[in-house]
A and B are shown apart, each in its own frame.
Chain A
Amino acid sequence: QVQLVQSGAEVKKPGASVKVSCKASGYIFTRYVVHWVCQAPGQRLEWMGWINAGNGNTQYSSKFQDRVTITRDTSANTAYMELHNLRSEDTAVYYCARGIGSGSYDDYWGQGTLVTVSS
């Protein structure tokens, strides 16, 4: 069955970077895209960007474009989201989700990774 398993919770200081992983199983990793979505406490879901796991092409939200890097390792069936120059308002749960294409819904989601930014 399709599964996306994310890395564990992180606590970071302002100005630091965090890298969250998303390991896929149960499907052909390179035939899909992986979206990254964040959710601050009590807030709506917010799309951050995606990566085409096949060719490595990426697209980022204008809000995060200057601070986020999404990559993938096809040998490990794993996608990564790295957020730089962390601020307290980046405290949120970060989700990866599978998409059929760049403009697609998200049919399977990871369990989420809580990132806490605090001095």
Chain B
Amino acid sequence: DIVMTQSPDSLAVSLGERATINCKSSQSLFSNNRDYLGWYQQKPGQPPKLLIYGASTRESGVPDRFTGSGSGTDFSLTISTLQAEDVAVYYCQQYYTITQTFGQGTKLEIK
């Protein structure tokens, strides 16, 4: 299985500041001119919510302060100006293989 490793495990950022979460895959996720990488947000007691797919395409309705970047094996999710409602755990996911795998999660808090 492809191993997904996120950094950091937790992150505290002030309101209005930028937050960046990194994700590294054990093999390239690039094929057919696209990266098979998604980002999800999970708030306590809720299911995950899709934010980004294809490494950089924002899902419909997701605020434009969320930006995905990267290709191959190294990816990032950036929240440009942190809002209080962004407190959550964020997961990256590879769906390059039929057996999709997730990172361990990054807990984002307000400083």
Contact = CB atoms under 8 A, between A and B. Distances in A.
Interface of A: 35, 44-47, 50, 59, 61-62, 95, 97, 99, 102-112
Contacts of B36: 103
Contact of B47 (A46, A50, A62, A109): A109
B86 to A, nearest CB: 19
Nearest to A95: B47
Nearest to B105: A44
Contacts of B101: 47
22 contacts: A44-B105, A45-B93, A45-B105, A46-B102, A47-B100, A47-B102, A50-B98, A59-B98, A59-B99, A97-B47, A99-B95, A102-B98, A103-B96, A104-B95, A105-B50, A106-B38, A106-B93, A109-B48, A109-B49, A110-B47, A111-B47, A112-B47
A97 B38 CA distance: 14
Nearest to B4: A44
Central interface residue in A44, A61, A105, A107, by most chain B CB within 10 Å: A105
State the 9 A-B residue pairs at the shortest beta-carbon distance, nearest first: A109-B47, A105-B38, A45-B102, A105-B53, A47-B100, A44-B104, A102-B98, A103-B95, A107-B50
A105 B47 contact: no
B59 A45 contact: no
Given A47-B102, A106-B40, A110-B47, 7 more contacts: A45-B48, A61-B99, A105-B50, A105-B53, A107-B53, A108-B50, A109-B49
Contacts of A47: 99-102
B99 A45 contact: no
A59 B95 CA distance: 14
Contact of B103 (A44, A59, A102, A106): A44
A47 B93 CA distance: 10
A105 B91 contact: no
A44 B91 CA distance: 8
B47 A103 contact: no
A119 B91 CA distance: 33
